[in-house]
Amino acid sequence: MAEHGRKRSWQELAPLDRGGMAEALAGFPVQCREGLALGEGVPLDGLAGFSRVVALGMGGSGIAGALLTTLLPVEVVPVRDYTLPGWIGEESLAIALSYSGDTEETLSAFDEARTRTKRAVAVTSGGELGARCSANGIPWIRIPPGHQPRAALGYLLFPLLGLFRRLGLIPDLGEALAILDELARELAPGGEENEAQRLAQRLAGRVPLAYGAGPTAPVAVRWKTQVNENAKAPAFWAELPELCHNEVVGYELMGRLLPQGTVVFLRSRHDHPRVARRIAILEEILTNRGLDWIEVSGRGEGLPAELLSLLYLGDWTSYYLALLGGVDPTPVAIIRDLKDRLSR
């Protein structure tokens, strides 16, 4: 954030955002409400009666399926691959999530899913996925085009929440939406320095290791991937309590191999008591070894509000990290190059 020894203001850094990521992030609560409305229009005929949800999706589209694992009271299996586990059958509801509609892994898995179960639905802006659904009489939710997939989470997730709310599987989302409105006002550029900007300054030049537990594990994935894609920087994630059985041993050489690492504990009032105790002990261990860590919490009483606010804070933090790193948050040149090479 320094230029010739002078600290540059957020206003001075804003022109780096040539792709308009701040505008997309600020519109997240609006996306969520519009997404809910889209989910209200999905015909339920043939969808009810499932015992398991299989969420097929990659990258910024797939995170919606991962979040369903914490928000639905039924088993949700995220699939980020070309093929399905062998045990998925007719009792499953297959959901294909592809913002573009052209994600090859998702198309492959969805074609296989349609041979296993008649219960299927898709969320996409169109593309090949929309065409295949239309050709085969499969209901699909058409969402607005023109966004980066990771900046369209409201459109990818909330139509499904609207659908599952109609099936009696999702609690009221009023608290979550109200808190997202608050955060949109607080975290956007302008005015006094906000929490996301302070977190970005705390993490600037460092490698975040996002730690989640239970319901916050998918949020930890989102924190990691948003730093990767928006800030163009390395970041990692791990899940409690599992990491206490392996990753912690890496602390022995972390100070030498990754001195710029910062563990980010994503906290929840719904943390298991023993997980909370493990976090307290880990913080002591990290401190005693001279390793860096911080805690970040969401807002709200209900789980949807807490998780979505924690996720939204991470999205904004990654945006400000991009500005501090001198990069436009929107382009993902390496992903585009990889896809171009695969298509040849």
Active-site annotation holds for 339: yes
Place of tokens 């929440």: 161
Tell me if residue 195 is catalytic.
no
Order of strands across the sheet that contains 236-240: 236-240, 207-213, 261-267, 292-297
Q: Which of 105, 229, 239, 247 is catalytic?
A: 229
Helices (H) and strands (E) in the chain, counts: 14, 11
Helix (H) or strand (E) holding 209: strand 207-213
224, 188, 205, 249: which is closest to 20 by C-alpha? 188
Q: How far apart are CA 86 and CA 188, in angstroms?
A: 45
Please identify which of the residues 4, 7, 192, 245 carries the catalytic annotation. 245
Q: Catalytic residue at 4? A: no
Fill in the amino acid letter for 4. H
Count how many Cα atoms sit within 13 Å of the Cα of residue 334 in the half-sphere of its side chain. 5
Q: Please say whether the dihedral angle defined by the alpha carbons of residues 222, 163, 143 and 62, taken in this order, is positive or negative.
A: positive
Strands 140-142 and 236-240: unpaired
Residue with tokens 């005015």: 191
CB 91 within 8 A of CB 51: yes
**Hey, which residues are catalytic here?**
229, 245, 339
